[in-house]
Chain A
Amino acid sequence: MTAVPDSDLRVLDAYDRERGLRLARLVTLVFGGIIALGAFGLLIGGLIAGAFGHRAFVAVFAASVGGLLCYGLAWLLVGRKQLLLSATLNLVGFIGILATIQVTHGLAAGLDAVVVSIFGLYGIFCALAGVLIDSRYMFASVVAVNVLNGVVCFALPHSSLGTAALVWVVVSLEAWVAALLTFGAQTLYTQTAHELGDLRLAIERAQRLDDLKNQFIRSVNHELRNPIMAWYSAAVTLQEGDEFLTPVSRAKLADRSVDIGKRVLKLLRSILDVPLLDAQAKDFTPQVVAVRPVIDSALELLDPQEGGEQMRDIHVTVPPDIAIWGDELRLQQILVNLFSNGLKYSAPGTPLDVAATRTPTGQMVSITVRDYGLGVPPAEQSLLFERFVRLPRDLTSPVGGNGLGLYLCRVLAEAMGGSIRVASTGVPGEGTTFTVELPLPVPAATREPVVVG
């Protein structure tokens, strides 16, 4: 059995919470409804029978109205996802009514059958507490109910201390039995629920992998179709049309064939080298790297064709003394990818902003690359740094790519102890901001010795 990753546990917790809220909503509605009906009945009955003169009746009626208020508040709190508070109000609201009935009845009649049978209902509410919140909360409520029962038993008129004590012990035990039974059922239920949750996670993961696979096939598919067709056509023309070809045409076909070979090889390498990249990303000796010169060299490395026909304004605002603790080549690769993306996915003539600052906490350097292009829809941002992911719109656009650039950026940034994130509204023209955070150089004295070899 493999360990469950933290992210999965969080998801499972969220499922649990969602179930708890649904249940709390149902319980609040049902018991609140019962109390509302009861209070309404008391009101009508009391008015007809003229019972509002009796102190006991007024007390019970007031308790039902109080209970109703508790349930109203509990309903609001469930809406705000305040599960614990709303469950407590559930308990207080109903138990308050039960206790009032016991006391008002018992003050006159003593510890009679009515009072004792009402004790039986407390156990139900303890069990409910366990179902709504958890077993710890349930056992705490059992203790509270035990105390309340004890107070009621000894406060009401009773024939002897022994009788009161016996009734208290029996009703307390009853609450514990109810709680323990619930605990058992709860444990079994939770286990099943988690198994179902695991299953749901597994299905979601499988679906995501399937999506990735399809995206990969679509993008590579497209990137291969053009060069293969060109290659095939060139070969057929050279073979069968040789006698009609001018030397110039023949040379052109040969040149194109070589170019196409390079293009296909580049595509294959970028795909096949992914496992190698994963393995080698961490294989470097960290050192102090000044950011500004790396940005300049990355800009020089850009393929001039990617920026469109026109020259672009690239605003670089980086203090000369800013440096990171990492590897120059890896930083350069990240920057080249981000710059070329920024140019590829924005209109000709729009600028590119590059900036670097220390983060407010002072532990990291944050490098931002901002374009004013198409943006990334928020719904699609979470998948952006996975391998082979391309946005749906790019799959049908002329902008080529293999969906590896941002994956590479993430692997390299994480290898240097950093991170990468994206911010975009997804509104075309508002653009996209990529932020890479990398560690600041550590003062020499506190550095861990670098193990070489």
Chain B
Amino acid sequence: MKDFGEGTTVLLIDDDQHLLPVLEIMVQTFTNCTVVTAADGVAGLERVAEAIPDCIVVDVKMPHLDGHQFARALRGDPATADIPLIILTALVQDDERFAGMATGADVYLTKPVPPKELLAAIRRALATTAEQRMARLQSLVQSSEMRPEHAAAQGGLTS
């Protein structure tokens, strides 16, 4: 069991009053992440605005703003476009699946999905985010090393 720690956040969005609290406890228990929840797409976007999560799991059929609309809003904003998105739906029609892919979901799972599959998808998503962060950090460090004044400072030290 890989431990991501409380610094990692997973956002769960689902309007089912039974499923959401159970998933919250499950994800929290098995990944040790901080789990944030929302009952519809609008509330979900508010949570994202408060703090950018490392992974989002979203239902499709929800009041106010459904999963596809949520995904579109998320992908439309450069600040949130890279967050891994798992769509979790009770709809089984193929056209729904295509709609999910078109709006840019990374993973598309149909309820009921075995809990371990969902957890595995979340872990993969969190790992991706971590790698992306690391890569960005490295490129930042590299670009700062290449800066001329930096080089000059280094040269000054060695001479």
Chain A residues with CB under 8 Å of chain B are 221-222, 225-230, 232-234, 236-237, 240-241, 244-245, 249, 252-253, 256, 259-260, 263, 396-398
Contact = CB atoms under 8 A, between A and B. Distances in A.
Which 5 interchain pairs have the tightest Cβ spacing? A229-B112, A225-B90, A241-B29, A230-B19, A225-B111
Contact of B29 (A222, A228, A249, A260): A249
Contacts of A398: 15, 61-63
14 contacts: A221-B90, A222-B61, A226-B16, A230-B19, A234-B26, A237-B26, A241-B30, A244-B29, A245-B29, A252-B25, A256-B21, A263-B18, A396-B91, A398-B62
B151 interface: no
A252 B28 CA distance: 14
B140 interface: no
A237 B18 contact: no
A222 B15 contact: no
Contact of B91 (A222, A234, A244, A260): A222
A262 B15 CA distance: 18
Interface of B: 15-16, 18-19, 21-23, 25-26, 28-30, 32, 61-63, 90-92, 110-116, 118
Contacts of B23: 230, 233
A396 B66 CA distance: 10
Given A222-B91, A230-B22, A241-B26, 18 more contacts: A225-B110, A225-B111, A226-B18, A226-B19, A226-B111, A228-B111, A230-B18, A232-B112, A236-B26, A237-B22, A244-B30, A245-B25, A249-B28, A253-B22, A253-B25, A256-B22, A396-B91, A398-B62
Contacts of B113: 229
Contacts of B92: 221
A259 B18 CA distance: 8
Nearest to A221: B92
B18 A222 contact: no
A310 to B, nearest CB: 14
A239 to B, nearest CB: 10
Q: Which of B22, B23, B91 has the most CB of A within 10 A?
A: B22
B18 A228 contact: no
A244 B18 CA distance: 21
A260 B18 contact: yes
